[in-house]
Chain A
Amino acid sequence: MQNNLRAVISPIILICIGLCLSCTGPVEMPRLASLTPLADQPILHPDYTDITLPPNIAPLNFVIENPGEAYFVEISGELGSLIRISSRKPEIRIPLKSWKTLLESNQGKDIRMDMCVKSKTGEWKRLTPVINHVSEDSIDPILVYRRLHPMYYLWQNMGLYQRNLETFSETTLITNNQIEHSCFNCHTFVQNRSETMMMHFRAGQVSGLYVKDGDRHLKINTATDFNKPAAYPSYHPDGKRIAFSINNLGMFFHATGDTREVIDMMSDLVIYDVDKNQITTDIQISHPDYLETFPAWSPDGRALYFCRTNKLTDYTAGSDKDPQLQYNNVRYDLIRIGYNPETGEWGKLETVLSSGECGQSITIPRISPDGHFALVCMADHGNFPVYVRTSDIGMVDLETGYWWKPDINSAQSESYHNWSSTGRWIVFSSKRGTGQLARPHFAHVDKNGQTGKPFVMPQEDPAFYDSFLETYNLPELLTGPVELNAREMIRTMYDNEHIVQATLDSAVTHRNDLAEARTGWYILPY
């Protein structure tokens, strides 16, 4: 009986294997030299054409969208060996090892991608070659980001992940299904280093500020008589002070165009001293007549940059309209104030770039490691660029005050951005294409602040982004992986008996309006 069964099954299996082989067998490679390049431009998805790429980036796998029956790609550089890939499918996956060798051999030089597409008649057509430049500047190898569904009112699943940009390896730092689906955000590091980090936990038993300082794990309640829990942090380069803003954010919805919008109704800045466990501020950064937000330290720690606008009632002075209705007139200026880290004294306040001058609302300043440039968001209004499609990345020369929008922007929102440790690469979130889902993009920046064409973070599956519904949030480049023990972090956040209660600097006067202001999100009635 068993033999009979085997006799029937064996040929079937062999036929199946034969069929599979005949379908997936190697594609014949065209003789490239014999084909003249056509004027047809290759359509690559994602668009990895005419870019400057880091010598240590993972393979830029792509899909050739030019129709064809088979595909052939030859990647070559002045030095090193060729990479040849043939495929019946338009997905091109470049072998990691050969790719790395090619990039390392051709630092500072161009690499060329020749592509051929086989027509239905069996004829190979050669497309216009793609030339990309391999920079000599490496990119920081780790990118840390939060991933979640586009958030409206509810959240459910989110996670903090780190991606090795030299490979396709992504590891989970923490997911919120480990902490009863509480929200967390604002992961922040000290100058691209992973040893010290902080992040906020926003709901339930774990609520509070988490600080990892080497081997120390702390849960801190930053709320004092002056302020509710803080947001939008920036680590001082010494790793011992964190600048925060205290915000009163509300979300509302539109009937046409972009669905969501956020308005900040009140905000101020405070400084948390980790060693002293003390919250302090100064009238210049928490003035009752202004909304101050998005602090960012200069790399030398001797200046604090932030964004500021008039209080909302100023926008409707002399009118009986609700001030919140003026949301589309609210624009922020870029401000700088000197700071003496030794004494903690503040210097003079100055406007670096006013919204009146540039006609844009300036938010989320990030200062280049050499202190020369500030990368900012520039939108036609508001304080929440990720929801505003007019938001672009802007560059401000901090020495001359000259500003411009680099050629890295799209018609959709470009928002959260940061510098690599060398200052030669930037990462930013862009919603280009979908308008709804942010993806991390990288661009090269030279010493004059000029940028190369941006490209999306490569994935092993080149069609990955087409059906990936999560949005990438707050991408941060790091020089090394985050050594985070999730168990220790979770234990710390659940341990409310040992929560560190921040004290308020006795020199700071209590302000009722700030202490009572809500922090984080809530939904406005309209």
Chain B
Amino acid sequence: MIWQKPVQAGTFYPIDWSRMSDKKKIHQLGFWLTIAIFYALLFFHFGVRINPALIFRNQEPVFFTTLRFFHPFAGYAGGLSEYAAAFLSQFFIFRWIGTFVLIALIGGTQALTVYLFSSVTEHKSFRYASFVPAVLLAVMLSHYDFPLATAVGFLVTLNFSGHILRMKNWPFIPLVPILAGMTAFAYYLIAGPYLIFVAISALAIWSARDKSILQKGIMSAVLIVVGFGFPWLLNPALGVMPLDTSYLRWIPRSIPFAWPVVSEMLIGFIILWSVGLFILSQLGKSRISSFARIWTAWPLVLVRALAVIGLAILILTTTLNETAKSRLTIRQYARQRNWDGVLEEIRQHPNVDAISSFHMHRAMYHTGRLGDDMFRYPQNFGIDGLIPLKEDVLFYATEAANFWFEMAHFNEAEHWAHEALTQQGANPWILRRLAEINAIKGNRSMLQSWTTLLDQTLLQRKWADPFKAQLADPTPLKDQPAIKQARAQWIDSDFLIHLNLPEMDFVSLYRRNPENHMAYEYLMAYYLLARQVGWFVNEIEAMRNFPYSRLPMHWEEALLIYMVETKSTDPVFAGFPISVESIQRFNDYQQILTKYGGNRKSAHEELRRKYGGTYWYYLMYSKSNIRMDTGEGVDAFTGATR
């Protein structure tokens, strides 16, 4: 057996322009120009349109710098690629650094594809094909749910594949254990994407020179045994669980990418193209050269360059899910407490879901506009858009924790923060919230635990500083000024939390603490959305506890309805008169209705145009759901009254 020097990858050699013909120079220039335009377009696509910060907001992978955090990742197949992905994803919170990481992953995939193909044949004319995996990966990365571990897996598998092809002519004895080891290691590192390596290894075995059929057969058997036996060994549930729990882990097949079956296309293309190149290389040098001559002919080169740029433009125009982006943007702004941003985003994309609507109401409360503007914004979900029930909010537990924290309902905030911790892992936002809650509750020991963990994060260590200062202060937590201020909002008598009737919590909170403005405003908003004008009026006197200078506009609109229904003539509530302007608008609204003979359907369009942002219009035309249990004045379970 003769040791053969592995085939070298010409692609990675420095380009020697001086030895090139003019035609080749133009080809090289064309290729690099295509690369430059392609990646510039992708940079724009990911940086401006996709925004990696929103990918992070959607997935929020947890990462700590400790060995204890690393340890479990080393314990299962694909864990290490998940660990690497979790590390890389942390940089997504910075939009442009995140974009750079994404581009590097795509570029790395393309470079390693070139490396792989150059391991099959030395001919460089087919390198344009390397754009295909790059394009497909870019499509996948454009989806906010795409797991970065898959992209890391592709990089590793391409690298391993290139190496095994270059080692194929090594002597039989060292090659067999190397093949077995690399197969097992590839699976352990990256799980599902290792299938590319297995396929390329099969190609390497059967294209190897100086190996007998018996040797090739043995190597194939080793590949099959290790390639399919090792995952079986590692996964005790294999055989009773679906295949994707091990063989296909990290190959995302359930994500609805903008282009169909992209992950399968990527894997299939790499394998088939490698096989095709190999077959072509077997036809003889003259045949492959003549094929290459056609392939590199001027018009085809131009077509290929234009096709690549065209694909990049296609990515730009087809892969962004505007609705998903808008909803993530709203969640992102809400986290940043950029309330104006939330409302602006909703103005631009009014097709909101219940959680966006939930943030919309938060934004309106925090900007002091809830009573004046809530019906000017989409109200398609009624009370479910004000405060979703537990089943709906389950996947937004962090947001629920934040909401209840803002309302000084600290036990409920703690409850939801723990749900979020269970569901999403210990991300820094949850840790910070739990630290705040435990500081307020005076639990020094738990505050210490959350602070320690915050201090072990990669990029949010500084968030631990204020808590460290609180812990270092010998003053009891409850007596420290900032904590004391927060505790002042906390109620001192218990009630049972009603997960299905959150308005009962609003009632309980503000009756126990008449200074809880948020609970009061939310209760009033709830009654308006639930069309319970009578209960709304019952609570109107309490507005004297808060610094209102006038009746909010929607409140005036509700009170005018109440006056009509009760035939009341006194337009003063809680010491505030209903404005003349509102009375005039109400009269106008009624006149329009009268004009159409009281026919709501006929009057709809004109009323929508002139009064679509009023409570009157909401009452008359909104089809939002009303919960069945909002009709009772006394709650059967807690005995609480509205």
Task: Give residues in A with beta carbon < 8 Å to B.
Answer: 149-157, 177-180, 252-257, 259-260, 321-322, 324-325, 433-437, 466-469, 486-487, 490-491, 494-495, 523-526
Residues B411-469 near A (CB distance < 8 A)? 411-412, 414-415, 418-419, 421-423, 426, 443, 445-446, 448-449, 452-453, 456
Interface 0/1 of B384-414, CB less than 8 Å to A: 0000001000100100000000000101101
Closest chain A CB from B452 CB (angstroms): 4
If the complex has contacts A152-B418, A253-B411, A525-B498, are A434 and B443 also in contact, measured as CB distance less than 8 A?
yes
Asked whether, in the complex, the Cβ of A254 is within 8 Å of the Cβ of B411, the reply is yes
Whether B237 lies near A469 (C-beta < 8 A) is no
User: What are 6 of the A-B contact pairs (CB < 8 Å)?
Assistant: A178-B235, A254-B497, A255-B509, A256-B494, A435-B446, A490-B236
Q: Tell me, in angstroms, the Cα distance from A321 to B636 when the chains sit together.
A: 8
Which of B390, B409, B497 has the largest count of A CB atoms less than 10 A from its CB?
B497
Tell whether, in the assembled complex, residue B390 and residue A153 are in contact, meaning their CB atoms are under 8 Å apart: yes
B501 and A152 contact, CB distance less than 8 A = no
- Per the bound structure, the CA–CA distance linking A467 and B497 in Å amounts to 30
A324 to B498, CA, bound (A): 13
Q: How far is the CB of A219 from chain B (nearest CB, A)?
A: 12
Do A254 and B494 form a contact, CB below 8 Å, given A325-B638, A466-B449, A469-B453?
yes
Q: How far is the CA of A18 from the CA of B294 in the complex (A)?
A: 63
Query: Among B237, B411, B508, which residue has its beta carbon within 8 angstroms of that of A179?
Result: B237
Q: Kindly report which residue of chain A lies nearest to residue B456, judged by CB atoms.
A: A467
Interchain CA distance A177-B236 in the complex, whole Å: 11
Q: Would B415 and A259 count as touching, CB distance under 8 A? A: yes
Give the CA-CA distance A490 to B509 in the complex, in Å. Answer: 47
Residue among B241, B422, B509, B635 with the most chain A CB within 10 A?
A: B422
Given A152-B422, A490-B240, residue A253 in contact with residue B496 (CB < 8 A):
yes
Residue B495, interface by CB 8 Å: yes
Query: 9 other contacts beyond A256-B493, A469-B453, A490-B237, with CB at 8 A cut-off?
Result: A178-B235, A178-B237, A180-B241, A255-B508, A325-B496, A325-B637, A434-B449, A525-B498, A526-B498
| Complex Cα spacing A178 to B394, Å | 23
Judge whether B35 is part of the interface by a CB distance below 8 angstroms.
no
Considering the complex of A and B, which 10 residue pairs feature the smallest CB-CB distances, nearest first?
A487-B236, A494-B240, A467-B452, A253-B497, A526-B496, A526-B498, A256-B494, A433-B445, A526-B637, A434-B445
The interface residues of chain B lying within 8 Å CB-to-CB of A255 are 409, 411-412, 491, 494-497, 505, 508-509
- Produce 1/0 per residue, B6-18, CB < 8 A to A: 0000000000000
Task: Please name all residues of chain A whose beta carbon is closer than 8 Å to the beta carbon of B491 when the two chains form the complex.
Answer: 255-256
By size class, the interface of chain B is 35 or more
Distance of A181 from chain B, by nearest CB (Å): 11
Complex: chain B residue closest to A255, CB-CB: B495
Docked Cα-Cα span, A289 to B464, in Å, equals 54
Chain A residues positioned under 8 Å from B367 (CB to CB): none
Asked if residues B446 and A156 are in contact (CB atoms below 8 Å), the reply is: no
Per the bound structure, the CA–CA distance linking A157 and B75 in Å amounts to 15
User: How far apart are B126's CB and chain A's nearest CB, in angstroms?
Assistant: 34
A494 to B237, CA, bound (A): 9
Q: Are A153 and B419 in contact (CB under 8 A)?
A: yes
Complex formed: what's the CA distance from A177 to B245 in Å?
Answer: 10
Distance to closest chain B CB from A7 (angstroms) = 26
For residue B640, which residue of chain A has the nearest CB? Answer: A526
Q: How many Å lie between the Cα of A254 and that of B495 in the bound state?
A: 6
B480 at the interface (CB under 8 A from A): no
Contact A322 B237 (CB under 8 A): no
A252→B409 CA distance, assembly (Å): 15
Are B418 and A434 within 8 A (Cβ)?
no
B499: interface (CB < 8 Å): yes
Question: Chain A's nearest CB lies how many Å from the CB of B292?
Answer: 36
Contact among A155, A434, A436, A467 for B422, CB-based, below 8 A: A155
What are the interface flags for B502-527 relative to A under an 8 Å C-beta threshold, 1 for contact and 0 otherwise? 00010011000000000000000000
Contact A152 B240 (CB under 8 A): no
Give bound CA distance, A239 to B109, whole Å. 59
B492 adjacent to chain A (CB < 8 Å): yes
Closest to B235 in A: A178
Contact A149 B421 (CB under 8 A): yes
Q: What chain B residues lie within 8 Å of A491 (beta carbons)?
A: 239-240
Which residues does B use to contact A, with CB under 8 Å? 68, 76, 235-237, 239-241, 390, 394, 397, 409, 411-412, 414-415, 418-419, 421-423, 426, 443, 445-446, 448-449, 452-453, 456, 490-501, 505, 508-509, 635-639
Bound together, the chains give a CA A512 to CA B25 distance in angstroms of 87
Which residues in A have their C-beta under 8 angstroms from that of B415?
152, 253, 259-260
Partner of B639 from the list A156, A256, A325, A490 (CB cut-off 8 Å) is: A325
Q: Which residues of A contact B493 (CB under 8 A)?
A: 256
Residues in B neighbouring A322, C-beta threshold 8 A: 636-637, 639
Min C-beta distance of B227 to chain A, whole Å = 20
Partner of A151, one of B235, B422, B499, B636: B422
Q: Is the CB of B495 within 8 A of A434?
A: no
Identify which of B445, B452, B456, B637 contacts A435 (C-beta below 8 A): B445
Q: Are A259 and B411 in contact (CB under 8 A)?
A: yes
Minimum CB–CB distance from A257 to chain B (whole Å) comes to 6
Report how far A471 CA is from B421 CA in the complex, Å.
13
User: B509: which A residues are within 8 A, CB to CB?
Assistant: 255
Name which residue of chain B comes closest to A321, CB basis: B639
Looking across the interface, which residue of chain B has its beta carbon closest to that of A174?
B236
Contact B394 A436 (CB under 8 A): no
A523 lies within 8 A of B508 (CB): no
Contact indicator A256/B411 (Cβ below 8 Å): yes
Bound: A257/B496 CA distance, A: 11
Residue with the greatest number of chain A CB neighbours at <10 A, chosen from B390, B449, B491: B449
Q: Is A467 in contact with B449, judged by CB distance below 8 angstroms?
A: yes
Q: Which of B76, B390, B496 has the most CB of A within 10 A?
A: B496
| Residue in chain A with minimal CB distance to B75 | A172
Residues of A near B499 (CB, < 8 A) are: 253, 523, 525-526
In the bound assembly, the distance between CA atoms of A495 and B240 in angstroms comes to: 8
**Contact among B239, B394, B490, B497 with A526 in the assembled complex (CB-CB below 8 Å):** B497
Q: Which residue on chain B has the smallest CB distance to residue A252? A: B496
A contact residues around B409 at 8 Å (CB): 255
* Alpha-carbon gap, A433 to B493, bound state (A): 24
Question: Are A156's CB and B494's CB within 8 A?
Answer: no
When chains A and B are docked, how far (Å) is the Cα of A154 from the Cα of B394?
8
Residues of B with C-beta under 8 A to A433 = 445
B419 touches A154 (CB 8 A): yes
A434 touches B446 (CB 8 A): yes
Are A525 and B236 neighbours in the complex by a CB distance under 8 Å?
Answer: no
Report the separation of the CA atoms of residues A525 and B495 in the bound assembly, to the nearest whole angstrom.
13
Nearest to B425 among chain A residues (CB) is A156
- With both chains docked as a complex, state the minimum distance between the C-beta of B464 and any C-beta of chain A, in angstroms: 11
Residues of chain A lying within 8 A (CB to CB) of residue B443: 434-436
Roughly how many angstroms separate A434 CA and B446 CA in the complex, as a whole number? 5
Residues in A with CB closer than 8 Å to B236 are 178, 486-487, 490
A495 to B241, CA, bound (A): 10
C-alpha spacing A255/B638, complex, angstroms: 13
Docked Cα-Cα span, A256 to B508, in Å, equals: 12
- B456 contact set on A, CB distance < 8 A: 467
**A150 and B452 contact, CB distance less than 8 A:** no
Q: Which residues from chain A contact B412 at a C-beta distance below 8 Å?
A: 253, 255, 259
Please tell me if the beta carbons of A153 and B637 are within 8 angstroms of each other in the complex: no
| Contact among A153, A178, A467, A495 for B453, CB-based, below 8 A | A467
Chain B hits for A179, CB < 8 A = 237
How far apart are the CA atoms of A157 and B496 in the complex, in Å? 28
Q: How far apart are A111's CB and chain B's nearest CB, in angstroms?
A: 28
CA distance in complex: A284, B453 (Å): 51
Known: A322-B636, A467-B452. A154 touches B411 (CB 8 A): no
B492: chain A residues at CB < 8 Å are 256
Q: How far does the alpha carbon of A334 sit from the alpha carbon of B295 in the complex, in Å? A: 88
- Decide: A526 near B638, CB < 8 A? Known: A253-B499, A254-B411, A434-B449: yes
CB distance from B627 to the nearest CB of A (A): 12
Whether A257 lies near B494 (C-beta < 8 A) is: yes
- Within the complex, the shortest CB–CB distance from A487 to chain B, in Å, comes to 4
Residues in B whose Cβ lies below 8 Å from that of A468: 68
